[in-house]
Every structure is written in structure tokens, then in C-alpha cells.
Structure 1
Amino acid sequence: MTAIVWCVVLLAASALPGALPLPTAAIAGSALLLAVPSFVITLFACLLFNVRQTGNRARASRAMFRLVGETVPAGLLIAGGLLFAGFWLVGVQSVGGAGVPEQRAGEYVTNNHGIVTVISEDEYLTLKEQGRRIPVAIAGGLSVFAAVFSTALVRREEQRETSATSRGPAPG
């Protein structure tokens, strides 16, 4: 959840000119450092759960989506879907076809596969900010995945524990 909030804050701040004076590597690194570990752990947990449930990997993805549908509240699914779509939209919108913004001989230019076009400083800064949003949007999407799917796994385990205690002790 922290990674989702951090990515939202970074994306909101990047919409303001000059609000993030940090290097792109620091911004992307901070977002990815929070998102990637939880995503990887959740992904492995989902794979283990699915293979254990289905017995093979071919049916594993269907089992996981069925689990999410059965255990995650509708409100959380809707919020997760909207957040994921928002991060995806920001990422797609940030992929520009104008080229790579560069500074050459005191001029601001875009380099699009060898075609160099002179642009204004404002256009240059806008293109730089757009490029900084892409890794943050990816990190946000990974974080939403991790939050929704880990919630499903935790709720399934809680259901399993509840049903085990309601049955009482094993005869013996």
C-alpha cells in the first residue's frame, strides 16, 4: 500500500513544473524499490498457491483469478482496477513519439531516430517530465497487482483457518 501511495505522490508532484528536482534515477529507483519486492513475493506466492490448488501450471492463472473473485471485496476490486487503469493511462500517455529530449550546443532538441528538431525549453522540460513518469507508473501498476493478489491470498488463508477451528479438534 505504501508503494501505491508513493507512486501517486510522485506522479502528482511530477505534474507541477519543477516540483521534483531529483534525478530520474532517484525517482524511478525509489518507486521501484518499494514496488518490485512486494510484486515478486506476491507473484511467487500466487504461483505456489495455484500449483498446489490445481496440480499443474496450465490451469493456475484461472485458479488465481477465481480466488481473487471469491475472496476480495467488490469495492477493493473496483478501487484496484481504477488505480491500475490510472497508472496504465499515465504510462501510456507519457510515452511520446516526439523523440528523446536532449541539449545540444545550448539548444533544446528532440532526437527521433536521427531526425533532430529544435524545441523550446518548456517543451524540453515537459518531455523530460513525461519520461520520468513511465517507471513510476509501472511501479504503481505492480504495486496494485501485489496489493490485490496478496489480499486474496491472505483472505483465503483466513478462511481456511476459520473453517479448521470451527470443525473442532481432529478425532483421535
Structure 2
Amino acid sequence: MAIKFKDIRRFLARNIRLSICFLDGQYHNYLLVSDISASEYDELYVYGIGMTDVEFSKDIYSEPEEPNGEVSISMSNLTIQPALEIVLSDKPRNIERNICDNLTFKDLKPYLQVIGEFNIVNKLDWSDESYKCRENIPEKYDNMYVYGIGMERISDHKKRMVLVLSDNPRQN
């Protein structure tokens, strides 16, 4: 059973920018998860989750122009900002998943970008450990439940994905 966007939406931090991307190269950028209409991408499958830098309007109250065909970017009214990137597809990837409805880290791990900064946070005591590569994240987290997915800026040029895990599944 593959992961659909509706399966991870509730875990996404509410205060991060998102870039929803598709395999054909099209994308839509959002300032907040709440900017995505309720069921817009729910039935699409997650192909990957990573971090990227994308363009946003400097005027947060104006709608950015949708790219259609050729795109002319004027940096005078745009800013490049870090965002959580979620790649979606209409077809699922062939990745085995836990049978229960709750998302475990083992379910999510194959969808994460391969290289990048990861901060794994234990919700129980808020302890954390950082890793530079997905493959370096130990199996001790595999059976923990995903509680939150976010991103934080370490410096102007570095960012890291934050994954909050819990021994108990999230209820809401």
C-alpha cells in the first residue's frame, strides 16, 4: 500500500513553505499547508519528500503567477526561500508499507531524499539526533510513528528536515 498525499498532509508542519512537484516538472509553491485546498492532491501518490529552494513573491498577499509555457522571472519582486518539496505522481511507487493505517518511520524512509540534513526528534522527551544521509539513520526508529514533518533553517545556506517520531500513533 503506497503513501498518498492525504496520508502525510496531517503530519506536515503548518508554518513551512511547500513546493508540490510533479514528475513532468510542473510545480506549485505554497506559503503554508493551509493554502492547499482541502482535497486538491489527496488522491495522488507521494513519489518523494525533500528540501529545495524555490521562488516566492516578496508580497505575500499577492498570488504568484502560475508558470504556463515560458517563464520569465524578475528577481525584483521574487525571493528564493527554502521549502519542503513533495513530489507527487498519479501512479504509486512499488514500495512495501506497513499494513496499519498509522505511518511509521520505516514506511516514510524510502521516500525521503537520499542526501541532506535530517534531525530526528523523539516526541517523548524532545531529544534529537542529526544525520547527513538517509541511509545513516538507524533502524531503531523504524517502528516509531511519524508525528510531524517539517524543516528548519540552520544558516543562510543550510537547512535540515525535521522528523518528529513517537512511540504512539498520532490521534488527530
Please, what TM-score do these two structures have when normalized by structure 1? 0.21
- With normalisation by structure 2, the TM-score equals 0.21
Structure showing the higher helix proportion among its residues? 1
Tell me which of the two structures has the higher relative contact order, counting C-alpha pairs closer than 8 angstroms and 6 or more residues apart.
Answer: 1
Structure having the higher Rg: 1
